[in-house]
Every structure is written in C-alpha cells, then in structure tokens.
C-alpha cells in the first residue's frame, strides 16, 4: 500500500464529471490497483476513487516538460510536480490527480489480511445455542452439534420435549438460501428410520420476511436468537420494555 499526503487537485471524467480544487489530501494506492482520495474529515468514505481493474500512470513534471519539448508543445501553466493518471480498463473512466506539493510518500507491505472476524457469527451462535438448548423449549436436549450428512453438517440436532428430532440451521441473518439449505438436510435426515420424523427449525439473529414465508410453507419453524441473552449479558425478564 502506498500512502501519499499531498496538496493536489483531482478531476474525474466518465459517466459523470467531478472536480476537487486544490487542497491537502491523503492519496491511497492499494495492492489491488484501486486509488482513493481522502480528506481529513466529513466521512470515512473517500472523496473520489477508482476501483480496479484500472491502470495508474505517474508522470513527473520534469519528464512531462522533456516530452513536451521534444514534441514542440507546451504544458499548462498550472504548477504541479507530479500527475497521476488512472484509467479504468473496462469503462474508460479517468481520474487525474495533479500534485502540487508532496508532503509525505510512504509505501508499506501489509501482507495478506485474515479478514474481519465478527462477534456473533454462526459458529458462536451455534455453540451458545447448544449450551443453552433449553431456551428453545423446556426438556429439550442436545443430540449433537455439526451432525454429519452426505451434503454437509447440520448445525444442531436436538430432541424436543416429546422426544421428536429437530434439525436446526443457524445463521446470523436468515435468508431464503438458509431455508433451502435446511430443506435439503431435512430430506436426507427423514430417510433415516432412526431419526424420522425430523422437523426443521431456522434460527437467526434476524430473519427476512421472504425467508419466513418460505419456511412456513415448508413446515419449518423460525426462531429469532438474542445473542446477548444467550451469552447471559441481557436478561429479557428484567427489562421494563
């Protein structure tokens, strides 16, 4: 990653035209080729940017003057020391940054990022629900986490108060794809005479209305999980509202 703090002007041309007048800004060039222009306030979003695939060509003023002299041409009178010309490979959109003064220019090798690890992902929810399976109903019991099937593991296999088998699919955000996934698991599990009949339960921190409709149509129960309550942080019974 390259970080440049410079006094610069920025022009964007393509599907729209935008101009940033001369000011001190932070310019970021990432390893994927993207170029971002940031100010020191206003928002976490860049003022302007170019996403990959794109090409960056950097021209120093001295080189541009030599080329202009060879071509018997003249450069614009605007005073600049370096020009960045960024062109998108597919759309042809162009981002031109003219640097009048470079205050800092640093390149850092960040390496491969492991990605954001969110609190409350499916694995955490699965472990918490398995430890607190009775929150789904009195006298419920855990059969197994990650119950294996030919098409992948079911998050939780449990038995309800009547001894019936329940396959539980857990998501942070419940969408139609999750209901489809659970439907496939149920089809396989109900072929096993030792488990059948197996009913399904779709559990998530939030479930989209379309997913609820599809689950109801297929006889699958929907449960909204309270992550803080499962962790013992939030006691729903002691709340006023």
Q: For residue range 84-113, what is the model confidence (pLDDT) as tens digits? A: 999 999 999 999 999 999 999 999 998 887
* Predicted TM-score (pTM) above 0.75: no
Q: For residue range 52-67, what is the model confidence (pLDDT) as tens digits? A: 999 999 999 887 776 6
Domains (range + CATH), the chain: 2-107 (2.70.180.20), 122-238 (3.40.1350.10)
132 Cβ neighbours under 8 A, 6+ residues apart: 230
Question: Average of pLDDT values for 3-19?
Answer: 95
pLDDT at 42: 74
Per the CB < 8 A criterion, the answer to whether 70 and 62 are in contact is no
Cα(8)–Cα(82) distance, integer angstroms:
9
pLDDT at 200: 97
Within a 10 A sphere around the Cβ of 25, how many other Cβ atoms? 23
Mean per-residue pLDDT of the chain: 88
Cα(69)–Cα(64) distance, integer angstroms:
9
pLDDT at 238: 46
27 band by pLDDT with thresholds 50, 70 and 90: very high
Per the CB < 8 A criterion, the answer to whether 182 and 169 are in contact is yes
- For residue 58, give the 3-state DSSP assignment: strand
pLDDT at 75: 47
Q: For residue range 112-164, what is the model confidence (pLDDT) as tens digits? A: 877 655 555 788 889 999 999 998 989 999 999 999 999 999 999 999 999 99
Between 183 and 66, whose confidence is greater? 183
pLDDT higher than 60, residue 21: yes
């Amino acid at each position: 990653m390259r970080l440049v703090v410079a006094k610069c002007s920025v022009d964007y041309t393509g599907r729209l035209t935008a101009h940033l007048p001369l000011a001190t800004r932070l310019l970021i060039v990432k390893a994927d080729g993207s170029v971002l222009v940031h100010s020191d306030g206003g928002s976490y979003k860049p003022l302007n940017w170019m996403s990959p695939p794109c090409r960056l060509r950097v021209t120093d003023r001295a080189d541009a003057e030599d080329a202009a002299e060879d071509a018997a041409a003249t450069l614009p009178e605007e005073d600049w020391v370096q020009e960045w010309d960024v062109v998108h490979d597919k759309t042809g959109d162009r981002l031109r940054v003219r640097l009048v003064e470079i205050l800092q220019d640093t390149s850092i090798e960040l390496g491969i990022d492991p990605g954001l690890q969110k609190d409350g992902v499916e694995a955490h929810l699965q472990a918490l629900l398995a430890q607190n399976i009775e929150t789904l109903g009195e006298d419920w019991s855990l059969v197994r986490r990650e119950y294996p099937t030919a098409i992948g593991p079911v998050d939780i296999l449990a038995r309800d108060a009547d001894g019936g088998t329940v396959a539980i699919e857990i998501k942070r955000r419940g969408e139609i794809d999750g209901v489809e996934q659970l439907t496939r698991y149920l089809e396989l599990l109900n072929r096993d005479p030792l488990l059948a009949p197996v009913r399904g339960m779709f559990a998530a921190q939030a479930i989209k209305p379309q997913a609820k409709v599809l689950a109801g149509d297929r006889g699958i129960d929907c449960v909204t999980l309270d992550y803080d309550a499962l962790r013992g942080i939030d006691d729903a019974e002691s709340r006023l509202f």
